[in-house]
Structure 1
Amino acid sequence: MKTTISQVNKFVGQEVTIGAWLANKRSSGKIAFLQLRDGTGFIQGVVVKSDVDEGVFQTAKSLSQESSMYVTGKVQEDSRSPFGFELLVTNVEVIQEAVDYPITPKEHGTEFLMDNRHLWLRSRRQHAVMKIRNEIIRATYEFFNENGFVKVDPPILTGSSPEGTTELFKTKYFEEDAFLSQSGQLYMEAAAMALGKVFSFGPTFRAEKSKTRRHLIEFWMIEPEMAFYEFEDSLKVQEEYVAHIVQSVLKNCSLELERLGRDTSKLEKITVPFPRISYDDAIKFLHEQGFEDIEWGDDFGAPHETAIADHFDKPVFITHYPTKIKPFYMQPAPDRDDVVLCADMIAPEGYGEIIGGSERIHDFELMKKQIEKHNLPLEAYNWYLDLSKYGSVPHSGFGLGLERTVAWISGVEHVRETIPFPRLLNRLYP
């Protein structure tokens, strides 16, 4: 019976065949222990010399790291293993013997591992992070599908930008200038006017020359937009969504979290509602904490966000930022024209902003005024202006950065480990 490692629990006491790679091995004179992986998981294969042909035992002892094979054996429970099962091997059929695999069990430097990212992905740690990433994606679709959202795919090549063109990659679109999208938001607003509640999930690009552990040049965003949803309505969706994906990872990725050494007690606290602090109060709080460098009207840096987040044990909303530091499309607060109805969600444990969202302007004259005030080319935004001209309604939306969210939930320090092939300031290889 051919199966996978993740399915061996269905075949306890039976003989199965698994296509696998050798992650590691150790052996004595009479027993060889093979650490096997097949993409679905890891399992130990035990080869007992007295129970197999001499040729099988010698093959098992001589296998090199990352050699590929078909392994046949009997599935048995093993309480010492985190996985709970092991394979009592009866036969090994080598497909290809790997020679001088570059990533050994010893420590390697970051640059070396990044140069060999195509191989580093095979490690237990990276496997665990990618499985958690996949679970967050699965739970994302589950949440929005169950809550009546429609998946819409905005274009990656655009002629304009939601937030100006200073941090965009410029390219040629035949005879026109075009940009790689930094957000699908404007298009998602159009889709919301047609379909009510929508979400997108796709790659976005930021040409900012940042080297911090929170930044990637290419990353993935989940961007919902909701017609007839005002500011408070949107905050409720955001906290319910984040709580959902955290609980889904706790439920379905316990082995991966354990492999990464993640303190799951911190994740178990992530339940709705989330705390909130206004920008005004955040400035006062930071001053009390000794941050004299920050003034009202400044945007928060990583140390400021971390100081605020450390005051809570859940993600925290920072709301009502100054108008002058936020994009043109955000709805002014009804009682103040110097702040907008927006919120950033800051993850605990120093992982920074994972969501930015706001209520959007739906008044035509105000939207036109804002576009002109920000010196954006009106002709490029005529189609967007149409949304506030023909049947406009209050609407809100937000964007969640997938990689920062994966980093936070999995507990890894740098976002470069949370995407299969990271694009960083000085890295376009492999």
Structure 2
Amino acid sequence: MKQRGRHRRRRRGRALRAFLSGTAVALTAAATMISASQATVTDHGPGDLKPLTASADTGELRLTENRVPQASLDRLATGMGRPVGVGAVLAGADRSLRDAIDCTPAERRALPVSPAASRAYCWNTDDTAGWQPGGVTTSGDADDDGAWGANRVILSGWSRTDGTAADRGMARVGFVNAGDLNHLSYTWALLAVPVDGGRDYRGLVSHVSGMVWYQDKLLVTADDGDRTGLYVYDMNRIQRATVAADAVGRVPGGWSANGYPFVLPAIGSYELSGDSDAPHPATVSLDRSTVPDSLVAGEWTLDDGDRSARLWRYPFSTAPGHEGLLATTATGRVRASEAYRTELTGVRGVLSYGAKWYVTRAAGPRDAHGTLWRQDAGRPDDEADEPKAAVCGAKEKHDCWSPQTESLSYWEATGEVWTQSGRTLFALPLASIDRTTG
């Protein structure tokens, strides 16, 4: 029986690879028709990354670390029960992502034309309707061996766009069991913020456009109702909800998490130190090629605006007792170790590895697809590579990428980049991005 099961999975895998290849061909044909009738604003390229070194520029990027008092966290854990870990959450993963072959044509249009996805899955309509997808991170970020204990995991951030005024903007995370890439199962956990000294909690109100899981901490971008730059969650402090109700927080008979089985209460946050015009870290990713490892951040800009985006990084701490957190000064400040400006507008996702930076641009109002540009940093201008993006279609335009990828996550142990657009979660080798933009 086990042998036959493996054969079925292999046949299924071969069918999916053939299907994804065929999808890429179909999308290329569509791009040909689109490119013949319209042009994109990115045909000229974004130019080189411009280093930002003036104190006025880098000072705006400074963060201040705020920790939830330990007494508050302990009080909440006492009230809710002993916290659980990632393994307990995955044990409750009772829903399945659909393979690419079972995705709808509309969902498959979220895949890039070039470079093509090597893996693709779709979320279920019934529990994602009224929710906006955002950031992706994996156990490949959490640990350099690609696993968290015995588990391979993908985390997917979502925020609510419908419902009552109290519900709108609520944030949640999908915990995906990625141990078998031929069958991804998942469950949900609500993101929350402790209140009243740990006697209760409220839902995080934010579009979760970026997430990074590093060591035992999950860093989440915050905007909308929660204007703090980043919230911090402890992956060893996941709480079980005890009441299956729509309410959030303490309710008669126990604790509710909007109907979800788990809730993550924040253990801290990083607050923007600049004024209201300071760049907000709207997208984040992990870079393991730096020493120490670093959190890469970028600000979003409007597609039709005249302001280009800033990209920067914060070093992670190597101090004992500060695992998974950003490096701080004695006064709790976090300073950017590197900052640049790109000429791209409509910026969404950003990834850095080595001297290369990868920046995604959202699809414009007349574009079916977005773009992904590779830019160089850290070398003299005469040695730097020219910025490049994949080309597709008869006119060889650059709008070949997925329409809307808000974050990029590099799983170094497998060499794959994971992201999502709409209800479509997909991956592709970083080497294929380099090849098509090289």
TM category (shorter chain) comes to under 0.3
TM-score, with structure 1 as normaliser: 0.24
Task: State the structure with bigger RCO (CA 8 A, min sep 6), 1 or 2.
Answer: 2
TM-score, with structure 2 as normaliser: 0.24
- By percentage of residues, which structure has more helix? 1
- By percentage of residues, which structure has more strand? 2
